[in-house]
């Protein structure tokens, strides 16, 4: 009986040990940039991975200036339906959870901030900056209702949450704790996991206890496709890709058959259009860039001594600066002058010199060798009836007359070229003497 009890005790210890090890795992993802559809998918995959591994929690390290409200709703929805606790940690020092980041932070089961971080400014802004007052009020009211429901669900400061949307208020980390916006301030991740250990979290209709004090942390990174799409969502990258795509397609159009410029240009434009779908594009800025390209092409086909080129450069400069229209929500979305100025110079060089010289070479490629003799004048070196020899540009050529016999010494003009035979006619016709 004693041995049986020992065996049962040992078995229970092993079982409990296995449960403990399984529970002492934290899945971690990192958001460092704007909130877009790629990030929404990444968060969804992170939650799925944490659920699959039965992790103690999903830890989201957050540093974002803002992003799309549609993507934010998707992220919040995934967090609300999560079967594991979600912990959001605004980090590192100097990080900001702005705009969309406010919604994500408030939606966490546990919200924490590192020292020197801040949270706030969640007022929605139209993607094209063109909302009228009525539509703007509707969007604001909708966002305010959304964030109130999040704050109420998580037991956070509802009034401050609404003010963050309506009045773009912000809080430093210590104020956020005092106002019951976040749960705690942690100097680092290890301190955070120790601080939340033992907390009871309500998931749907059940409660779980966080077991994180000695948990192992497993990172879930974006896939390479997600990294590329997230990378091109940067306004500077999207702008460069758009110009590169235009260069490639135009170069392929003027030099068909090369292939590579067209392929690179097509891929670049597709990626640029994807990125622009996630950015606050100003239609007027995009129209000015298109106008600039048209003016450059017109300058190549109908030279105007640089007038169209000057207009193209000015249009490209204005369009580039206007392309992304940042607002309260989109202060992160802007194109650097350090990118715009070199791009304008490269574009001007591409059209006026590289493509310009290429078109000139195409126009002149047939103006060499025998083709240069077309419409040239010369002298008959023998009587031509119907064939004979002529001298043109100091060279002797076999010729055939299409206007009757031509006397030796007569002036002739080349009308057609057939291989090495010149088809000529007299400039002043002199009939051969009769015999």
Active site residue ranges: 99, 138
Partners of 119 in the β-ladder:
97, 171
Alpha-carbon span 161 to 167, nearest angstrom: 10
Nearest alpha-carbon partner for 184 in 170, 199, 163? 199
The answer to whether 400 and 384 are in contact (CB under 8 A) is yes
Query: What SS3 class is residue 286?
Result: helix
Alpha-carbon span 426 to 244, nearest angstrom: 55
Angle ∠(120,29,151) on CA atoms, nearest 5 = 35
Distances (CA, A) of 149 to 75, 107, 160, 230: 15, 10, 13, 29
Partners of 412 in the β-ladder:
378, 426
Alpha-carbon span 370 to 399, nearest angstrom: 13
Angle ∠(270,273,275) on CA atoms, nearest 5 = 110
The residue assigned the tokens 């392309």 is: 323
Write the Ramachandran bin of 430: left for phi over 0, alpha for psi from -120 to 50, otherwise beta: beta
SS3 content of the chain, % helix, strand, coil (to 5): 50, 20, 30
The answer to whether 399 and 390 are in contact (CB under 8 A) is yes
The answer to whether 124 and 100 are in contact (CB under 8 A) is no
The answer to whether 36 and 64 are in contact (CB under 8 A) is no
The answer to whether 241 and 232 are in contact (CB under 8 A) is yes
Both tokens of 262, joined, read 């067209």
């Amino acid at each position: 009986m004693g041995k049986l009890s020992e065996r049962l005790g040992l078995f229970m210890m092993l079982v409990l040990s296995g449960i403990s090890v399984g529970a002492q795992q934290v899945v971690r993802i990192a958001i460092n940039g704007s909130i877009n559809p790629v990030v929404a998918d990444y968060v969804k995959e992170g939650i799925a991975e944490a659920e699959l591994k039965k992790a103690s929690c999903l830890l989201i390290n957050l540093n974002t200036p803002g992003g799309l409200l549609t993507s934010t709703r998707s992220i919040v929805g995934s967090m609300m339906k999560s079967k594991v606790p979600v912990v959001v940690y605004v980090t590192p020092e100097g990080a900001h959870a702005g705009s969309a980041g406010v919604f994500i932070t408030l939606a966490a089961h546990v919200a924490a901030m590192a020292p020197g971080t801040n949270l706030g400014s969640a007022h929605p802004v139209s993607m094209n900056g063109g909302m009228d007052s009525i539509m703007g009020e509707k969007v604001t009211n909708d966002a305010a209702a959304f964030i109130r429901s999040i704050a109420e669900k998580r037991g956070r400061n509802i009034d401050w949450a609404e003010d963050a949307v309506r009045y773009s208020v912000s809080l430093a980390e210590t104020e956020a704790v005092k106002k019951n916006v976040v749960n705690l301030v942690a100097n680092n991740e290890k301190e955070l996991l120790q601080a939340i250990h033992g907390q009871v979290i309500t998931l749907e209709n059940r409660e779980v206890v966080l077991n994180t004090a000695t948990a192992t942390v497993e990172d879930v990174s974006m896939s390479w496709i997600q990294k590329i799409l997230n990378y091109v969502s940067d306004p500077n990258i999207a702008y460069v890709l758009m110009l590169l795509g235009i260069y490639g397609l135009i170069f392929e159009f003027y030099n068909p058959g090369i292939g590579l410029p067209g392929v690179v240009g097509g891929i670049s434009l597709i990626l640029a259009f994807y990125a622009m779908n996630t950015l606050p594009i100003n239609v007027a800025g995009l129209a000015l860039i298109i106008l600039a390209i048209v003016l450059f092409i017109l300058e190549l086909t109908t030279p105007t001594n640089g007038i169209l080129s000057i207009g193209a450069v000015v249009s490209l400069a204005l369009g580039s600066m206007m392309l992304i229209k940042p607002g309260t929500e989109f202060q992160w979305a802007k194109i650097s002058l350090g990118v715009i100025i070199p791009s304008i110079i490269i574009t001007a060089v591409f059209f006026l010199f590289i493509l310009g010289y290429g078109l000139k070479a195409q126009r002149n490629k047939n103006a060499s060798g025998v083709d240069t003799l077309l419409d040239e004048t010369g002298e008959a070196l023998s009587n031509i009836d119907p064939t004979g020899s002529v001298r043109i540009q100091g060279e002797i050529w076999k010729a055939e007359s299409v206007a009757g016999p031509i006397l030796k010494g007569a002036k002739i003009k080349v009308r057609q070229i057939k291989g090495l035979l010149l088809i000529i006619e007299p400039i002043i016709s002199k009939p051969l003497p009769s015999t």
